């Protein structure tokens, strides 16, 4: 026995941020402390298949990992606990999840040996079906510790509309917003336009309530563009937000911890595009990141305080990146949103902010794994009480 913890790093997933997840996972896998952890790599394909992968880490970001993983599936085989890998039956690839517990499924999907089960899962999954509480529920059923927020914190962090309600309750300033559902957009978009124009001014931002990496987000300058933006956002979620435009600097702050979280220094995004959209975040190289941000000390401390408040009011755990606007004229701080599984690519703000704050990338990964175990043990302690309140 090596004494190392066995960590399953899961990447890919069924979301519009599949490619970003692969890039984040590749970076984490290159930096995780192999003297402390035995690593199992599990990729989730866009069609939902879980594949064990043991090839070069460098093939994950490019997407080449999938063909390599599929090539190792024995012909005519199905998933079994003994073989511990995904399978295909004829030309139809499938998982034999029927009859297996969630824990069995995780271990069978993630390991070709039963000698040591998974100790911790690091779900490097962004967006829907990965960051929204769904897969966290699977880990809860499996009884396996996992990095990041639980079912509630993940779901609230992903759902921008409900997060805004809690931010308001916590006294964190934010811009004005409206929420509409897809059916109303399809049935009566004219009344929505009238409502938006009565409450907000152009330009305004339109975004899916449940999406990340600025997927489906638009800046609308007039009625025609607002209609296009609503229709686009409705393709990604059944609920759509229309938000007040705040002429502000884009500032981000990283949070680390469980019940007593700490905040990093803050950084500024200077978008190369009109706003910090998907292309600016992951494809173009014309956006600038300034760490630490050039802000008054009082403003920095306000942002750090609000970041911790946001983390706590959503009952987050492990990690989050909280995004803010600082109004260019007034200097007032407004919260934009929280990300419970922020990007971990080599240009991502979350690890860069902690590096500036004195926590190197590799140490940050180790801390997150230990925080996952800490939260798991805390939750397990709660579940061990009987109805009389005794352990």
pLDDT of residue 116: 60
Domain at 98, CATH number: 3.40.50.20
Cis preceding linkage at 292, omega within 30: yes
Q: How high is the pLDDT of residue 284?
A: 52
Same domain assignment for residues 219 and 101? no
- Whether 196 and 252 map to the same domain: the answer is no
Domain span including residue 331: 248-377
Same domain flag for 203 and 281: no
**Do residues 318 and 302 touch, judged by C-beta distance below 8 A?**
no
Check the CA dihedral 194-199-202-207 and report its sign: negative
10 and 27 both lie in a single domain: yes
Residues 93 and 12 in one domain: yes
Task: Tell me which of 192, 219, 244 is where a domain ends.
Answer: 244
Beta bridge pairs of residue 93: 88
Question: pTM of the predicted model, to two decimals?
Answer: 0.86
**pLDDT at residue 111 in the model:** 45
- Domain C-terminal end among 193, 209, 244: 244
Please state the separation of Cα 188 from the chain's center in Å.
33
Q: 138 in a domain, yes or no? A: yes
Contact between residue 235 and residue 216 where contact means Cβ atoms under 8 Å apart: yes
Q: Domain count of the chain?
A: 3
Query: The domain spanning residue 214 has which CATH number?
Result: 3.30.1490.20
Tell me whether residue 161 is in a domain.
no
CB 264 within 8 A of CB 291: no
**Considering 146, 164, 192, which residue would you say is the last residue of a domain?**
146
Residue 353 and residue 320 in one domain: yes
Q: How many CB atoms lie within 10 A of CB 89?
A: 12
Q: Does residue 165 lie in a domain region?
A: no
Other Cβ atoms closer than 10 A to 248: 19
Q: Do 108 and 84 belong to one domain?
A: yes
Residues 142 and 181 in one domain: no
pLDDT score, position 50:
86
In angstroms, the Cα distances linking 12 to 27, 232, 300, 302 are 13, 23, 34, 35
Residue keyed to tokens 């220094």: 265
Cα angle 235, 149, 289; round to 5:
70
For residue 125, give the nearest of 212, 33, 214 by alpha carbon.
Answer: 212
pLDDT along the chain (391 residues), means of 10: 84 90 97 95 89 94 94 58 38 38 55 64 92 93 93 96 96 97 96 97 94 79 96 93 96 98 97 57 68 98 98 98 97 97 90 97 97 94 56 50
Residues 141 and 12 in one domain: yes
One domain for residues 286 and 240: no
The token pair at 282 is 């992951």
162 lies in a domain? no
Residues 141 and 252 in one domain: no
Query: In this predicted structure, what is the pLDDT of residue 273?
Result: 59
Q: Are residues 112 and 208 in the same domain?
A: no
């Amino acid at each position: 026995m090596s004494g190392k913890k066995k960590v399953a790093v899961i990447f890919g997933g069924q979301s519009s941020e599949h490619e970003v997840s692969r890039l984040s996972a590749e970076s984490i896998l290159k930096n995780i402390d192999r003297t402390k952890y035995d690593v199992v790599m599990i990729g989730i394909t866009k069609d939902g298949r879980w594949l064990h992968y043991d090839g070069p880490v460098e093939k994950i970001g490019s997407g080449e990992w999938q063909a390599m993983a599929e090539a190792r599936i024995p012909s005519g085989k199905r998933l079994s606990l003994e073989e511990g890998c995904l399978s295909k039956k004829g030309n139809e690839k499938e998982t034999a999840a029927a009859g297996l517990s969630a824990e069995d499924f995780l271990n069978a999907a993630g390991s070709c040996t039963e000698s040591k089960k998974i100790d911790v899962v690091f779900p490097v999954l962004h967006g829907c079906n990965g960051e929204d509480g769904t897969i966290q529920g699977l880990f809860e059923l499996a009884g396996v510790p996992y990095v990041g927020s639980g079912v509630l914190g993940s779901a609230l962090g992903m759902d921008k509309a409900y997060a805004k309600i809690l931010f308001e309750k916590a006294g964190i300033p934010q811009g004005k917003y409206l929420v509409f559902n897809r059916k109303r957009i399809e049935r009566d978009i004219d009344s929505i336009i009238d409502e938006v124009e009565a409450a907000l001014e152009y330009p305004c931002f339109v975004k899916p309530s449940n999406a990340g990496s600025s997927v489906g987000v638009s800046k609308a300058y007039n009625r025609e563009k607002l209609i296009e933006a609503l229709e686009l956002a409705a393709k990604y979620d059944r609920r759509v937000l229309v938000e007040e435009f705040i002429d502000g600097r884009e500032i981000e702050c990283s949070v680390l911890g469980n019940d007593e979280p700490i905040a990093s220094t803050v950084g500024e995004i200077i978008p190369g595009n009109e706003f910090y959209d998907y292309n600016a975040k992951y494809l173009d190289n014309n956006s600038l990141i300034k760490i630490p941000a050039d802000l008054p000390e009082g403003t920095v401390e306000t942002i750090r305080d609000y970041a911790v408040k946001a983390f706590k009011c959503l009952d987050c755990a492990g990690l989050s990146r909280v995004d803010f606007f600082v109004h260019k004229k007034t200097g007032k701080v407004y919260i934009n949103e929280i990300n419970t599984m922020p990007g971990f690519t080599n240009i991502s703000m979350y690890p860069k902010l902690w590096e500036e704050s004195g926590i190197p990338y590799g140490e940050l990964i180790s801390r997150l794994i230990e925080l996952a175990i800490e939260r798991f043990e805390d939750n397990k302690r709660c579940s061990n009480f009987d109805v009389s309140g005794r352990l």
